[in-house]
Amino acid sequence: MKYEVDQSGRIEETYRPTIISIANKEYSYTVKINSKIKRLIQSKFQKMKKPKMFGVYGFASGVIILVRNSKIKNSVIIIDIEYDGYNKILKEIFIKYLDNSLEFRFENIGKKSPAHCSAYKTFKKLKKADYNIDLIKYEKIVLKMIRYKNK
């Protein structure tokens, strides 16, 4: 089975929420990261003097929570290229933190993708997010990731 992942409202845009969606033609699941949570996490990156990595690790953490909550197994997950040049790091993170029955690929999935449509509809409030990410869970994954990459 194949699924696509896309976001609407980039992680770095802390003045508005981010919606991340995993979908194919039969299924979709979305998570929402509100702007307040993003600002709190961004300030931690600034204090660590790693502000440029906020988007990459913030996106990775959102995808991890998304995939875990969607309970998808034994599938190929095609992730829209959101952070060009960081695909190798993102793939390493996903392999480390997600089910080993999943295969990850990075491609430009386009505006007609089911994941894009689902994320966009949720972002525009035409559809409700399936899960609202809470600060504690998000922060725990982000900080664990940073410690792992700094070893």
Burial state string for 92-107 with b = 16 or more CB within 10 A and e = fewer than 16: ebbeebbeeebebebe
> What is the C-alpha separation between 72 and 77, in angstroms, rounded?
9
pLDDT over 90, % of the chain: 84
Q: Given the structure tokens 């409030």, which residue do they identify?
A: 125
Q: How many structural domains is the chain composed of?
A: 1
Q: Are 33 and 133 in contact (CB under 8 A)?
A: yes
The answer to whether the pTM exceeds 0.85 is yes
pLDDT in tens, 99-138: 999 999 999 999 999 999 999 999 999 999 999 999 988 9
Q: What is the CATH number of the domain that holds 6?
A: 3.30.420
Give the domain extent around 92: 2-149
